[in-house]
Amino acid sequence: MIRFETTLGDFTVELFDKDAPESVANFLRYIDDGFFDGTIFHRIVPGFVIQGGGFTEDMTQKRTQAPVKNEADNGVKNQRGTLSMARTSDINSATSQFFVNLKDNEFLDHSRGNFGYAVFARVTEGMDVIDKIAAVETGRRRGFDDVPVEAVIMKSVRRMPG
């Protein structure tokens, strides 16, 4: 279990290490390195996703580890409250960025002709915080759309004891 402390509240996440072992191992490396501390949710699209894990408050992109293999073919669906690895159009380009699905996003699932986005965790506590983040005002900043006007910062992302 992982605890996210943000400027808008805390939420807890359960990792799917059996379904997405490479994605989970990658995510844990970033957590153990303290990589996410001070990063922001930089893309918020109400009714779709909140995305974070790659930028600092001034919209500087952080240096990441090598990308991981896309595990979207693991059978786990992009449903409300699940976390998936963000990536570019390159199927195997996911590094540190992730998103939380705000609704069931079937079109992001693995299917014939669409490799999809790898689900590797789900929110177990604090969906109200996710919804609060999703409701913030957004605008355009440093060439990016859907950026919160007031930064939503991940103050601490840690493994929970036990």
Tell me the residue range of the domain where 113 lies.
2-159
For the CA atoms of 23, 27, 32, 37, what is the dihedral angle to 10 degrees?
170
Longest Cα pair distance anywhere in the chain, in angstroms?
Answer: 42
Distance CA 3, CA 158 (A): 5
On whether the CB atoms of residues 117 and 87 are closer than 8 A, the answer is yes
pTM higher than 0.85, yes or no?
A: yes
Q: Any bridge partners for residue 10, and if so which? A: 5
Q: Which residues pair with 14 in a beta bridge?
A: 122
Q: How many domains does the chain have?
A: 1
Backbone angles phi, psi at 105, to 5 degrees: -115, 75
Nearest to 92 by CA among 45, 144, 22: 22
| C-beta separation of 78 from 122 below 8 A | no
| For range 21-29, the mean pLDDT | 98
Residue type for position 22: E
* Number of helices (H), then strands (E), in the chain: 2, 10
* CA atoms of 146 and 11, how far apart (whole Å): 22
pLDDT tens, 63-81? 999 999 999 999 999 999 9
What CATH code is carried by the domain that includes residue 130?
2.40.100.10
Percentage above 70 pLDDT, the chain? 100
What count of other Cβ atoms lies within 10 Å of the Cβ of residue 61? 12
Confidence of residue 162 (pLDDT cuts 50, 70, 90): confident
Query: What residues are paired with 83 via a beta bridge?
Result: 100, 121
φ, ψ for residue 17, nearest 5 deg = -65, -25
pLDDT tens, position by position, 117-158? 999 999 999 999 999 999 999 999 999 999 999 999 999 999
